Amino acid sequence: MNLRAVLPATAGLTVAADQVTKAIAVATLKNGESVRGIDGLVHWTLQRNPGAAFGIFQRVPVLFTILAIAISVVIVASARRVRDRFHGAALGLVLGGALGNLADRLFRPPGPFRGRVVDFVDLRVWPTFNLADAAIVVGAVLLAIAGMRAEKAAVRQP
């Protein structure tokens, strides 16, 4: 895949997967309902989160809408500086996750900038989350790895 296509393709696939899985969760689960999933390791529990990750800061949903917009703008503006596919995929995951949750905040009840994010993946040992949240975390870890790789490469070069 073309280097310039990695970031937008990864972001687009992430947003699509996130929104499709959220639509399925909303269509098949009642709010607060929990269904046993894969060998009891995963449960599907529908929750609507007005706050940030893990339900913190629930009283300021507008802040997270603005933050998601800002993160998305920064990633898009820096896309031209991506030098390898690994870094592009990592940024694409973060961008896709931010856009997936942003879509919820803009288009889900109770209204624009105050919409609640749909969470449904319940591991029982971690707060309930969605694919956008997972993409952001995985993307951030990959960005840290990309940074360490770049640092090692810089040390090797005179």
Does 84 qualify as catalytic in the annotation?
no
pLDDT of residue 54: 60
Average pLDDT over residues 13-40: 94
Which one of 18, 104, 122, 133 is the catalytic residue?
Answer: 133
Q: Is residue 40 scored above 70 in pLDDT?
A: yes
Burial class (CB in 10 A: 0-12, 13-18, 19+), 113: middle
- pLDDT digit string, tens, across residues 112-134: 988 999 999 999 998 899 999 99
Does 104 qualify as catalytic in the annotation?
no
Q: Domain extents for the chain? A: 3-151
> What is the value of pTM for the model shown?
0.91
- pLDDT digit string, tens, across residues 54-67: 666 667 778 888 88
Which one of 18, 104, 119, 122 is the catalytic residue?
Answer: 119
Q: Is residue 52 scored above 80 in pLDDT?
A: no
- pLDDT digit string, tens, across residues 58-94: 677 788 888 899 999 999 999 888 889 999 999 999 9
pLDDT of residue 1: 78
Task: With beta carbons less than 8 A apart as the criterion, state whether 42 and 123 touch.
Answer: yes
Tell me the sheet residues that pair with 45.
34
Q: DSSP characters for 45-78? A: EEEEESSSGGG-STT-HHHHHHHHHHHHHHHHHH
